[in-house]
Structure 1
Amino acid sequence: MPIYEYDCPHCGDFTVLRPMAERDQACACPYCDTASERVILSAPGLATLPGSQRRAHESNERSANAPMNLDEYKASRKHPAGCSCCGPSKPAQRTKANPHGLKASPSARPWMISH
């Protein structure tokens, strides 16, 4: 249950732990029992959350109001569909210098295979 803030006209502001279903209802002041309206006096406690949870909340809020459909997602990608750099590569061609069509090592380090 979240903590809500209320403002009593006689005693000042106070906080109460209440169910979310009762968030808009007036709350009785714990000192004088006067009906008090809900106010927002402080920011949510997001600063105390770990960074990973803050990033998760941020991405969830960003996508909640306007999620991308499949066409928008494809259009926003770095490379268009069917680009040769991201898809399956063609096998190396046989040449006079490379008769077997193998990838050549770019330097004197044969364990380093080029991409």
Structure 2
Amino acid sequence: MPIYDYLCDRCGSFSVLRPIDQRDAGCRCPTCDGDARRAILSAPALSTMTAHARAAHATNERAAHAPRTSAEYAASRHPPGCGCCGAKRPHATAPSAGGTKGFPAKRPWMISH
């Protein structure tokens, strides 16, 4: 349901969340219970961002006014710089049964020590 703006002659403007089929109908003022007519006071806002972008904006807004303290970092499951949850890169070396290392995809002409 969208949010519509209404204008009361006595109290001023207010916003109400209403179904689309009631967009043109008048509304009662929540303050004085008088009749209010619909007014276009602000431009419509469309949610055209991806879900990842919206989540990033929400995280950024949260971090802007309440950054995590060092105590919160210490109490978290993983400390800062923890590498256990990051992307794992495959190792360039492949151990053999004898314990020697080999480079199967890199330089096959090189012999490991």
Q: Which TM-score applies when normalising by structure 2?
A: 0.42
